[in-house]
Amino acid sequence: MNDLTLWGLFFVCGLSTYLIRLSFIQLHGKLGPLLAKCQPVLLLLPPAILAALCIPPIVFSKQNDGLQVELAQILAGCVAIVLANYFKSLLWPILGGMTFLWGYRWLIG
Amino acid sequence: MQTRDYRSQFWQGVRDLMPLVSGVLPFGLIVGANGVALDMSPELIMGMTVLFFAGSAQLAAMQLIQENAAFVVIVLTTIVINLRFAIYSATFAPLFYPLKKRYRLPFAYILSDQAYGLCIAPDQQQRSDAERISYYLGTAVALLVSWVLSVILGIAVGASIPPEWMLGFTIPLAFLAMLMSTITNRLLLIVAIVSGLAAIFMQGLPYNLGFILAIVTGVIAGLVLPRLAGRSFNSVMGRPHE
């Protein structure tokens, strides 16, 4: 995408995000029943979105001749999962996973 | 006298947000540095940051741009990720709806996960509306400032990070760490596994449509499975009254 398309994309995304934030504050009371109906979906969305975002790029890397399974990245992901269970901050799982990945590449190549 | 009380509530909000900066800072650094790695100009990254003002959606958009996803898929993804703001909006609606437009509109813009998390604390609920609004402003403005500064820092640092460091891998790791904190019961774990597997199997679909379909598959599994097991959704989620 060129810069102009990107600006357009970010504007549309930003506007949609703002309208979601404004929704109930602006239309107070009119959307209440709708929200109650959607509650189960809204509760299920976070793990569904985050898993769909992170699992494929951890398991595979994109090569010129297609997808390749990346053992080092999968193991780094496991390290991050273990650290995420001990620390609340995002810093430690990310740092631990990256450190493992660097170490693995350095040792095994 | 009264103005002083509001001011003290504002600063109380700022102080309460400070411990959360340790979570915001690395996230902002990753967003800024990955923008640089994607060859985006500093103006473009900051424009994106201010327009989105939503870190996880911004990071997801960056990942999808990297994967050459279609325009519509990126917009849809952003909307789906930010749907949670509708819940926050509903929470603050009774407080903000009576205000004048010139206050209501900017107050909606600065709404964030962190401000929501701090303002729904029980001791805040007992205060007067004016005090609660002052406290909200303190938390929300402090978050906005620390978020923007973190991204700027990320842009400054990102330029000097060599590609061998595989900085791009911090994006899925960040999402993985966030995923772990959202899995609080067995149903949510199953939803995550179904969605993750579906995303792998549908990777080949054009325009990254597989990503959206994987989310739909995961949510449908989460709605259908409790019924198959003969239990209500609320009992599986551990929510007896809602």
pLDDT tens digits for B27-71? 899 999 999 999 999 999 999 999 999 998 999 999 999 888 999
Same domain, yes or no, for B191 and B102? no
Based on the domain organization, do B153 and B223 belong to the same domain?
Answer: no
Question: Is B171 contained in some domain?
Answer: no
Q: What percent of chain A has pLDDT above 70?
A: 98
Instruction: Tally the domains of chain B.
Output: 2
Cβ–Cβ gap A32/B165 under 8 Å: no
The answer to whether residues B215 and B132 belong to one domain is: no
Rg over CA atoms, chain A: 20
Contacts of B158 (CB under 8 A, 6+ apart): B32, B33, B34, B35, B36, B37, B167
Residues 6+ apart with CB under 8 A from A107: none
Mutating which of A4, A22, A53, A94 best tests the B interface, going by the most B Cβ atoms within 10 A? A53
In a domain, B40, yes or no: yes
Asked if B67's CB is within 8 angstroms of A50's CB, the reply is: no
Q: Are residues B25 and B65 in the same domain?
A: yes
Helices (H), B38-185: 42-52, 55-66, 71-82, 84-96, 101-109, 113-119, 122-125, 129-158, 170-182
Residue B119 belongs to some domain of the structure? yes
Residues B80 and B155 in one domain: yes
Does residue B44 fall inside a structural domain?
A: yes
Chain A contact set for B111 (CB, 8 A): 21
B101, B193: one domain: no
The pLDDT, as a whole number, for residue B242 is 44
Task: Please give the C-alpha separations between residue B207 and each of B45, B65, B73, in angstroms, as whole numbers.
Answer: 23, 11, 7
**Residues B103 and B192 occupy one common structural domain:** no
Size of interface A-B (CB pairs under 8 A): 253
Mutation target to probe the A interface, by most A beta carbons within 10 A, among B84, B179, B212 is B179
Q: How far apart are alpha carbons B134 and A31 in whole angstroms?
A: 26
Q: Of B2, B1, B17, B8, nearest to B134 (Cα)?
A: B8
Weakly modelled stretches of chain B, pLDDT under 70: 1-2, 239-242
B97 inside domain: yes
Residue A29 has pLDDT above 70, yes or no: no
Contact check, Cβ <8 Å, B53/A14 = yes
Cβ burial B154-174 (10 Å sphere, 16+ → b, else e)? bbeebeeeeeeebbbbbbbbb
- Give the pTM: 0.81
Interface of A with B in 12-71 (CB under 8 A): 12-18, 20-26, 28-29, 31-32, 35, 39-60, 62, 67
What's the confidence (pLDDT) of residue B239? Answer: 66
What ipTM was reported for this prediction? 0.89
pLDDT cut 90: percent of chain A above it: 57
Note whether residue B110 is domain-resident.
yes
Residues from chain A contacting residue B174 (CB–CB below 8 Å): 90, 94
Give CA A102 to chain center in angstroms.
Answer: 22
pLDDT at position A12 = 97
- Do both B25 and B127 map to the same domain? yes
Among residues B163, B196, B228, which one ends one of the domains?
B163
Q: Quote the crossing angle between the two packed helices B209-228 and B71-82, to the nearest 10°.
A: 40
Report the distance separating Cα A96 and Cα A91, nearest Å: 8
DSSP state of B111: -
- In 3D space, the residue among B133, B130, B105, B112 whose CA is nearest the CA of residue B24 turns out to be B112
Q: Are residues B130 and B222 in the same domain?
A: no
Same domain, B149 and B225: no
At residue B27, the pLDDT reads 85
Query: Between the CA of residue B203 and those of B67, B159, B176, B178, what are the distances in Å?
Result: 11, 31, 18, 22
The answer to whether B108 contacts A49, with C-beta atoms less than 8 Å apart, is no
DSSP label at residue A66: E
Minimal Cβ distance to B109: which of A18, A29, A41:
A18
Which residue segment(s) compose the domain that B230 sits in? Answer: 183-236
Weakest mean pLDDT among A67-81, A91-105, B52-66, B158-172: B158-172
Radius of gyration in angstroms for the set of CA atoms belonging to chain B, rounded to a whole number? 20
Rounded to the nearest 10 degrees, the angle between the axes of helix B2-17 and helix B129-158 is 40
* For testing contact with chain B, the best of A5, A26, A44, A70 (most B CBs within 10 A): A44
For residues B132 and B43, membership in a common domain is answered with yes
Say if residue B145 is in the same domain as residue B206: no
Residue B168 placed within a domain = no
pLDDT of residue B70: 92
Q: What angle do CA B34, A44, B174 make, to 5 degrees?
A: 20
